[in-house]
Structure 1
Amino acid sequence: MNRINVPIGLLFSSTGSYGTVARTLLNGANLACEQINHRADIAVHLEPYAINPEGNLAAYAPAMQTMLDQGIKHIVGCYTSSSRKEVIPLVEKWDGLLWYPTHYEGFESSTGVIYTGASPNHHMSPLIDYLFTNFGPRAFSVGSNYIWGWESSRVLREGLQTRGGAILAERYVPVGDTDMDNVIDAIFRAEPDFVFNALIGESSYAFFRKFRLACAERGIDQVARFPVASCNLSEPELVEIGPDAADGHISSSVYFSSLPGKRNNQFVAAYNDAFPDGPVVSAEAEAAYIAVSLLANAIAAAGSAEVNSVKRSVVLQSFDAPQGRVMIDPETLHAHLTPRIGRSRSDYTFEVLVEARKSVRPDPYMVCSSAALEPLQRQPLMRIVS
């Protein structure tokens, strides 16, 4: 079989303040490349070329330009929304294609991007409904001071307001900042029903540890009195938080490593075998794995790696991913994914509490979505897991 040799770029900050998550993205992409290159049923050979911007926002555009200048048209990469927005003008100008494998805040669509991570109707809407139903209408929002934090809080605010709730206060800290004393004091003063966390990387890990300790010093059961909920909390981050504060947190995601089923068991085993030193598998790793797998399948079906041919081909593909069936929506180039809500455990895994019965069409602009999990008692497409 004559194979199509395709160079692909991998653009992830595997070091820096959010390096733990980015390494899982890189690992997921590399695992998919390795598996594809050993498949006998697909005439595609992927040649990964990785650049590490080290968490420096200014380094992303030059890295992307380097790849494009070398003739690399397909780039799987970026974790933060800021980095994605840095490189989109370049892939659009030079006819490249960014495969963006991360949950994000939505309200974007580019002809130069395939989005394989969760859209806001996959994670934000289900989480808002779950929190409102189970904990109450009053939130405190804390986030990293950039697009993800701002927009996530805005979606939360609007979602709560339509249900008669409110965000009592919002606080933002610089990416990588670990001084959380003022934020924690503000939470105690506001007395919310729950805390929404849109911090990333080391800032998030420090917040979880320090908030749990501050509650303990006041005789407060943090999990019961001030539950913390996130759309970006995954298994490797629980490890970073550590054993004293990793349990009891709510996470809205489309994938958890604890999902039952043969496909996910195979994925987790292959990942652990390939990367025994970690970080452990995560939703980000699965999204990167999906991106590379869909890319290869689209190239094989098109018989070409030419960008427009791949874009026409990929919307005709479906993929049995570890989380379930995934496909790309032809209107938005975002993925159909399966919403889930989990609660973290002390062994650094998640107990899945509720999940959709099938994948949900992406709605990045929140134009026509009703939350996939609401109302839990009456929604026929949802099931309570525990």
Structure 2
Amino acid sequence: MGNHAIVRIGLLFSTTGPYETIGRSMQSGACLAIEEIASDPRFDFRFEAISIDPGGHSEEYARGAQCLLAKERVTHVVGCYTSSSRKEVLPCFEKYDGVLWYPSHYEGFETSDNVVYTGASPNQHIVPLTGYLLRKCGKTAFCVGSNYVWAWENNRILREAVHAHGGKILAERYFQVGEVDFASVIHQIIELRPNFIFNTLIGVSSYAFFRELHRATRARGIDQPRMLPVASCSLSEPELLEIGLEACSGHISSSVYFESIDSERNMSFVGRYRARFPNAGPTSADAEAPYIAVHLLARAIRRAGSPDMGPVLAALPSVAMEAPQGKVRIDPGNRHCYLTPRIGISNGDRGFDIIYESPHPVRPDPYLVWQDLTSSEMTQLRIVS
């Protein structure tokens, strides 16, 4: 590559719109990694980022990808949050031989020669969460989610596991992204009294749901976290700030990263992130996954000696890093990452107390071909003392 070489990459995050809190976290995580690569003498190049904000509109993701790949001539783009946005841009990456570094937990059941997945696969978030809920909460669930593939598929996985254990899904309700009126569905939830609520709402919809559920249950004298616990695969630390102090405690979240991970490496990451982005709020899985994506991309380019698609993808099996969550490497068979599942409970400090975690990084299983959803334990997690 040579000293002072510049590799142009794209960033495609919605830093405005209905899930802008998440988009800003993702953008910040990617930018921190870009700056770290620039100051690291092990790399003889630096990244120059071209950022596009689709504003949470699926069609704008496609236009943004077209601009980055065809007009700006970049090969690698770190971006997208929702599965609908990812599916919207995939044809563009296939057409222009680009690589999407997709940094979001997702529902799985996809592999692509043009995508590297650095967020959690279903066996790394929904499966361990389902096992926890069936053991600790009970076997009746009410599912409420945003109306797109992420919610549909996660609810399908949950439904299969619950039915396999003799349980029941009492109802599934879906709402447009950005919807904030949940009075009717919350009334229905309170009447049905499920053992737990499975929440796949995103962005402002999720925050409004938590606030309204808190108000409605408090008015009826119901201890919501204990009697109607809410579980999510996406709830993160910056979102607790959006929900507000009164309603943010006692919620269950399954993730591969929480800011409260007690390790020297993570505390260093948290310190650098907060110093660089003092107004961005806490770190989160949404910040860490793009951070990992940029670092893995840099390591693959260094290994390949070129930013071209072919050499970079060929170098992926030999790429790994010590991330804030722990060791991360890419499975060469499906280009998803080995990650460490955890379960946390939100607390009054607007963070998460980690109660369970895997003792080691878990192999990604995007198609759930190795995972037995009828197992009483499913993914094994250890209690965190």
Could you say which residue in structure 1 is the equivalent of 2:275?
273
Could you say which residue in structure 2 is the equivalent of 1:327?
329
8 A Cα contact 2:251 2:346, kept in partner = yes
1:116 correspondence with 2:115: no
Shift of 1:44: 2.4
Instruction: Please give the alpha-carbon distance, in whole angstroms, between the structure 1 residues aligned to 2:314 and 2:281.
Output: 34
The one-letter code sitting in structure 1 at the alignment partner of 2:106 is Y
Instruction: Please give the alpha-carbon distance, in whole angstroms, between the structure 2 residues aligned to 1:4 and 1:299.
Output: 12
Query: Deviations for 1:85-109, whole angstroms, at most 9, x for unmatched residues?
Result: 0001110111000000000011111
8 A Cα contact 2:274 2:281, kept in partner = no
Query: Deviations for 1:238-285, whole angstroms, at most 9, x for unmatched residues?
Result: 000001000000000000000011110110000000100113211010
Could you say which residue in structure 2 is the equivalent of 1:5?
6
Could you say which residue in structure 2 is the equivalent of 1:365?
367
Within 5 Å, which residues of 2 pair with 1:40-79? 40-69=41-70, 70-79=72-81
Could you say which residue in structure 2 is the equivalent of 1:222?
224
**Alpha carbon RMSD of aligned pairs, Å?**
1.3
Instruction: Please give the alpha-carbon distance, in whole angstroms, between the structure 1 residues aligned to 2:192 and 2:185.
Output: 11
Instruction: Please give the alpha-carbon distance, in whole angstroms, between the structure 2 residues aligned to 1:10 and 1:302.
Output: 22
Shift of 1:184: 0.2
Could you say which residue in structure 1 is the equivalent of 2:347?
345
Within 5 Å, which residues of 2 pair with 1:136-215? 136-215=138-217
1:384 correspondence with 2:383: yes
Q: Which is further off, 22-31 or 183-192?
A: 183-192
8 A Cα contact 2:20 2:203, kept in partner = yes
Query: Deviations for 1:124-181, whole angstroms, at most 9, x for unmatched residues?
Result: 1000000000010000000001111111111110111111112110111110000001
Structure 2 unaligned regions, length at least 5: none
Query: Deviations for 1:19-47, whole angstroms, at most 9, x for unmatched residues?
Result: 00110000000000000001111122100
Instruction: Please give the alpha-carbon distance, in whole angstroms, between the structure 2 residues aligned to 1:382 and 1:98.
Output: 31
Shift of 1:3: 4.2
Query: Deviations for 1:284-332, whole angstroms, at most 9, x for unmatched residues?
Result: 1000000000000100011000011111112211110000000010111
Shift of 1:382: 3.4
Q: Secondary structure at the match of 1:315?
A: helix
Instruction: Please give the alpha-carbon distance, in whole angstroms, between the structure 1 residues aligned to 2:5 and 2:162.
Output: 50
Instruction: Please give the alpha-carbon distance, in whole angstroms, between the structure 1 residues aligned to 2:283 and 2:229.
Output: 24
Could you say which residue in structure 1 is the equivalent of 2:15?
14
Query: Deviations for 1:164-214, whole angstroms, at most 9, x for unmatched residues?
Result: 112110111110000001110110122100000000000000000000110
Q: Please, what TM-score do these two structures have when normalized by structure 1?
A: 0.97
Distance 1:353 1:363, change over 3 A: same
8 A Cα contact 2:342 2:381, kept in partner = no
The one-letter code sitting in structure 1 at the alignment partner of 2:61 is Y
Distance 1:4 1:299, change over 3 A: farther
The one-letter code sitting in structure 1 at the alignment partner of 2:384 is V
Instruction: Please give the alpha-carbon distance, in whole angstroms, between the structure 2 residues aligned to 1:370 and 1:298.
Output: 33
The one-letter code sitting in structure 2 at the alignment partner of 1:355 is E
Q: Secondary structure at the match of 1:326?
A: strand
1:29 correspondence with 2:30: yes
Q: Secondary structure at the match of 2:318?
A: coil
Could you say which residue in structure 2 is the equivalent of 1:284?
286
Instruction: Please give the alpha-carbon distance, in whole angstroms, between the structure 2 residues aligned to 1:298 and 1:331.
Output: 16
Instruction: Please give the alpha-carbon distance, in whole angstroms, between the structure 2 residues aligned to 1:279 and 1:170.
Output: 33
8 A Cα contact 2:304 2:312, kept in partner = yes
Distance 1:29 1:150, change over 3 A: same
The one-letter code sitting in structure 2 at the alignment partner of 1:38 is S
8 A Cα contact 1:103 1:118, kept in partner = yes
The one-letter code sitting in structure 1 at the alignment partner of 2:97 is D
8 A Cα contact 1:142 1:172, kept in partner = yes
Count how many residue pairs are aligned between Structure 1 and Structure 2. Answer: 382
The one-letter code sitting in structure 2 at the alignment partner of 1:83 is S
The one-letter code sitting in structure 2 at the alignment partner of 1:385 is V
Aligned-pair identity in percent equals 52
Shift of 1:58: 1.2
Shift of 1:374: 6.2
Q: Secondary structure at the match of 2:138?
A: coil
Shift of 1:67: 0.4
Instruction: Please give the alpha-carbon distance, in whole angstroms, between the structure 2 residues aligned to 1:17 and 1:236.
Output: 14
The one-letter code sitting in structure 2 at the alignment partner of 1:91 is F
